Structure 1
Amino acid sequence: MGSTSAGDSGRPVAARDRDGEGRARNARPRDGLGRPLPYGADGVERQPEGVVRAPERTVAEAQRLLDAGKPFHAHEVFEDAWKSGPEEERALWRGLAQIAVGLTHAARGNVTGGVRLLRRGAGAVEEWAAEAGRQRPYGMDLVGVAGWARELAGEVEGGGEAVDAGARAPRLRGRTP
């Protein structure tokens, strides 16, 4: 899709998709792992951006999406918490977002990106827990989540194959009996 104006090179400038408030936002449909699909294709409903949720609701919504095999969408929920939450919790939510993106990359078959983000997110979550002196904020098992992320990173690194995101989803609040 091109525009009638031309850039300095004389070539048409591609028009950018915009949301209702005029911000750049790619309107292409996406699959469950956040990969863009062709315009007009059936995609997965996208998470709305900029939603302010109570932390407990953030955890519940992210877990629902992780269980559904949609870690990319869970990352967007964590990103909302990271951007709208209190300054002292931003590192926690950013670390969880990195873990969700790491699972996304691992499910897409991107071994390097998956391993790197799973480990980075695990370190961020552990560091936040140590500094904050909290291991179970909002009922989350941060030690368990970080351990899960490191374990999956090792498996992905050793196996080199894509993982099933839904089957490998972390339990944010720990394993249920």
Structure 2
Amino acid sequence: MEHSRIERSRRQPSRGDGVRDRDGDGRARSARPRDGLGRPLPYGAVGVERQPEGVVRSPEETVAEAQALLSAGKPFHAHEVFEDAWKSGPDAERPLWRGLAQLAVGLTHEARGNVTGGARLLRRGAGAVEQWAADTGRTRPHGLDLAGLAGWARELAETVERTGTAVDARTRAPRLR
């Protein structure tokens, strides 16, 4: 059974309702549906299809899929695509993909209304991609505009802190290239 599939029939005891969802390998994984920003919905609700986990993509496929998800207002899902690249990519690029995942999850938090946490993650991600570019001398790996992404992240963090309001993930989505 693939890792992203979750079985409600293999539920184990937990703190909440007394049972815990498990995936096919027995690891704890919530089977609750999620909304477009990755927030859990009640069992039985109609949610947004989840991103499959553990997918190995080329860097170009990763960037294209993440951009499509960001443009569709699904930064949480884009974060999962970047996380796959972070976990499966070459060691030298893992800090880059981790930084991009932080940018996407920062946007997720901002869209959910978590101004402080979102701003912190956006700045952390901006610093990570800038540091990776400085360390490697690569400013446009896989066509990514790292300087532009870092600038976008810092500007968004400042805006939401100044206004104290959540953002629309679709209208504030970055252009990766």
Name the TM-score, length of structure 1 as normaliser.
Answer: 0.90
* Aligned mate of 1:144, from 143, 148, 153: 148
Residues 11-59 of structure 1: CA distance to partner in whole angstroms, max 9, x if unpaired?
Answer: 9983221122322211100000000000000000000111110010000
Alignment partner of 1:105 is 2:80: no
Residues 69-125 of structure 1: CA distance to partner in whole angstroms, max 9, x if unpaired?
Answer: 000000000000000101110000000000000000000010011100000000000
The code of the aligned residue for 1:61 comes to: E
Distance 1:93 1:12, change over 3 A: closer
The two structures, once aligned, show a CA RMSD in angstroms of: 2.1
Distance 1:143 1:19, change over 3 A: same
The code of the aligned residue for 1:90 comes to: R
Alignment partner of 1:38 is 2:42: yes
Alignment partner of 1:52 is 2:56: yes
- d(CA) in 1 for partners of 2:38, 2:64: 20
Q: Which runs of 5+ in 1 are unaligned?
A: none
Across the two proteins, how many residue pairs are aligned to each other?
168
- d(CA) in 1 for partners of 2:26, 2:109: 30
Find the counterpart in structure 1 of residue 29 from structure 2: 25
User: For 1:55-66, what aligned pairs fall within 5 Å after superposition?
Assistant: 55-66=59-70
The code of the aligned residue for 2:114 comes to: N
* Aligned mate of 2:127, from 118, 123, 126: 123
Q: Which runs of 5+ in 2 are unaligned?
A: 1-7
Name the TM-score, length of structure 2 as normaliser.
Answer: 0.90
Distance 1:157 1:26, change over 3 A: same
The code of the aligned residue for 1:39 comes to: Y
Larger-gyration structure (1/2):
1
Q: Secondary structure at the match of 1:41?
A: coil
What displacement does 1:6 show?
Answer: 8.0
Distance 1:85 1:158, change over 3 A: same
* Aligned mate of 2:175, from 164, 171, 175: 171
Identity %: 78
- d(CA) in 2 for partners of 1:72, 1:105: 9
Alignment partner of 1:135 is 2:139: yes
- d(CA) in 2 for partners of 1:106, 1:135: 26
- d(CA) in 2 for partners of 1:36, 1:20: 20
